[in-house]
Amino acid sequence: MAFVENILGILATRIPIGNWIQSLVDFLVINFSGLFNGFAEIIDNLISSFQAVLSYGHPFLLIVILGLIAWKLKGKGLALFVVLGLYLVWNIEMWDPLVVTLASIITSVVVALVIGIPTGILKAHNRAVHIITRPILDFMQTIPPFVYLIPALMFFGLGNVPGVIATVIFAIAPPIRLTYLGIKQVPEELKEAGIAFGSNWWEMLYKIELPGAMPSIMMGINQCIMLSLSMVVISAMIGAGGLGKPVLRSLSVVDIGLGFEAGLGVVIIAMILDRMFGSKN
């Protein structure tokens, strides 16, 4: 009897997961702050460079250039939408936050793709990587972003950088998963053809696997962009600038008009990016 009680006692002891994580984060903050600062600096530089490029000259210059790109990629209809939509944003004086948001999103997406696509390739070729990344990706995709806002804040301080980091964590799963899936879906016979004609690992990758996986990878990129956009408001909570800020402010001062205007900016930029980098239709 006493034995059973002992067991029950042990089972009832609370497992201190929260404390462990807390100590882990503390440990990392204390011992690796140099590393994090360096990383933060790189991200910060990226954001500022994109921001500088995007705010070069009059806003109309960027509007026209984006319109032309849309024309080239998808045709006249989208070009018209891009020009009118961005003009509206400029007109309601949301242009500056929009540029900040755009720069942050471009940075997040670039970082997510630079890490994500090679990871996806590795995952497709190496079973160990596949098995290790699977639970991590599940975790990253399903855990509420608010949970890692705090560690991001502690590692990287207030501002755009932790916002970008949180966004990358949130948006990196689709490019990894879809790159993996795309490569896995390349028919076995095509790979055999590659080997039979004497291709090496590298030729196999960039002449057979990546072209074959391209539609899937493009879908991953598109989803990555969309998920990054959905983080705009959340990252504003840890001090990131851009369109998320006025949305949050409108919430705290109950300013319906301001909230709607900023929200409209997010919608417009989301639609533009989705149509420009989406599939054919």
Q: Is 263 in the site for another protein (CB under 8 A)?
A: no
**Euclidean distance between CA atoms 119 and 175, whole angstroms:** 9
CA nearest 63: which of 46, 30, 87? Answer: 87
Q: Is 279 in the site for another protein (CB under 8 A)?
A: no
Among 150, 195, 251, 267, binds another protein (CB under 8 A): 195
Q: Is 212 in the site for another protein (CB under 8 A)?
A: yes
Nearer Cβ to another protein (200/281): 200
Rounded to the nearest 10 degrees, the angle between the axes of helix 256-277 and helix 76-91 is 160
Among 39, 157, 181, 199, binds another protein (CB under 8 A): 199
CA nearest 29: which of 124, 120, 129, 162? Answer: 162
Q: Is 147 in the site for another protein (CB under 8 A)?
A: no
**Euclidean distance between CA atoms 153 and 161, whole angstroms:** 9
Shortest Å, Cβ 194 to another protein: 8
Nearer Cβ to another protein (59/215): 215
Among 200, 252, 279, 281, binds another protein (CB under 8 A): 200
**Euclidean distance between CA atoms 149 and 158, whole angstroms:** 10
Nearer Cβ to another protein (84/214): 214
Shortest Å, Cβ 2 to another protein: 48
Nearer Cβ to another protein (173/208): 208
Q: Is 118 in the site for another protein (CB under 8 A)?
A: no
Largest CA distance in the chain: 81
10 sits in the region (left: phi over 0; alpha: psi -120 to 50; else beta) called alpha
**Euclidean distance between CA atoms 44 and 239, whole angstroms:** 14
C-beta of residue 248 within 8 angstroms of C-beta of residue 237:
yes
CA nearest 142: which of 170, 109, 180, 166? Answer: 170
Tokens of 9: 């006692």
Shortest Å, Cβ 197 to another protein: 4
Among 84, 158, 193, 251, binds another protein (CB under 8 A): 193
**Euclidean distance between CA atoms 96 and 174, whole angstroms:** 29
Backbone angles phi, psi at 32, to 5 degrees: -120, 25
User: Which positions from 151 through 190 interact with another protein, judged by CB under 8 A?
Assistant: 187, 189-190
Q: Is 197 in the site for another protein (CB under 8 A)?
A: yes
Nearer Cβ to another protein (3/202): 202
Nearer Cβ to another protein (159/194): 194
Stretch that binds another protein, among 28-36, 159-167, 195-203, 259-267 (CB under 8 A): 195-203
Could you list the residues that contact another protein (CB under 8 A)? 187, 189-190, 192-193, 195-200, 203, 207-208, 211-212, 214
